[in-house]
Amino acid sequence: MAVISFGPLVDAARGSIGGVTFQRGPSGNTVRAKPRPPTPNILSQRQAQDRLVRAIQLWRLQTTAVKADWLAYAATVTLYNSLSNSYHPTAAQAFAWCVVLQQIHAITPLVLVRPTSDSLPTSPTLTIAFTGNTIQITAIDPAPAAGEYYMFQLYRPDIQRTWPRTHIHTRVQFLGATALPWILAANYKNLLKTGTIARAHVHHRLLDTSYRTSCRLKTYLDFVST
């Protein structure tokens, strides 16, 4: 899917033409291949879909007052699309992000009320190291707090200058109170030859003590396979 910006001759487009669909969402106008219903065929896809379905079902059960609280919270969250245009998520989106991440971390009972603080949590800066054959988080700034939750996706290593990410190598979660270093993968280099300059893509999300969820944050580490 691509984000588009219109000029003086055209200010909107809707519908599908030749398999291309023009539509408008909360982040602005988009153009994409004509969507087809997803058919999850691996366990992680089915689990992700199940968590989202449960979050939306719970959203529909909330009272008008609770939904109004989430709408007020969503108005404090500013996101940006690929053209640097700002927008706010919907109340349902903000609710689903929080509830899905709680499900991933197996938090019970689920917290369904709006976060106790506004906006997004502070994005932490990670220090990543490749030591021996292990990828690990050695430092986080600001330091993780008790009651916070971190979720990581580590992609398979590839040569340094390759732009697209490879397949996901592992997913792992940590409590903020867990002592560093955090081991993302203990056997990481896979089939890379010794001496290869490689790149590890790391995506992470934070659920803070106010139950605010961050956007998915991306970073990478260049390392030499040993």
**How do residues 202-217 score in pLDDT, each as one tens digit?**
999 999 999 999 999 9
Tell how far CA 175 is from the center of its chain.
17
Peptide bond between residue 157 and the one before it cis (omega within 30 degrees of 0): no
Comparing 48 with 118, which gets the higher pLDDT? 118
Mean pLDDT of 169-195: 91
Q: What value does the mean pLDDT of the chain take?
A: 87
Task: Indicate whether this model's pTM tops 0.85.
Answer: no
Secondary structure element (H or E) that encloses residue 23, with its range: strand 20-25
Question: 3-state class of 121 per DSSP?
Answer: coil
- Do the beta carbons of residue 11 and residue 4 sit within 8 Å? no
- Residue 7 has a pLDDT of 65
Model confidence over 165-178: pLDDT tens digits? Answer: 568 899 999 999 99
Of 67, 44, 78, which Cα lies nearest the Cα of 215?
Answer: 78
Structural domains in the chain, sorted by start: 10-38 (no CATH), 43-104 (no CATH), 125-224 (2.60.40.10)
Q: Count CA atoms within 13 Å of residue 38 on its CB side.
A: 8
- Do the beta carbons of residue 148 and residue 165 sit within 8 Å? no
- Residue 30 has a pLDDT of 73
- Residue 191 has a pLDDT of 73
- Do the beta carbons of residue 138 and residue 180 sit within 8 Å? yes
Between CA 88 and CA 66 the distance in angstroms is 18
How big is the chain, counted in residues?
226
- Residue 4 has a pLDDT of 61
Model confidence over 41-72: pLDDT tens digits? Answer: 678 788 889 999 999 999 999 999 999 999 99
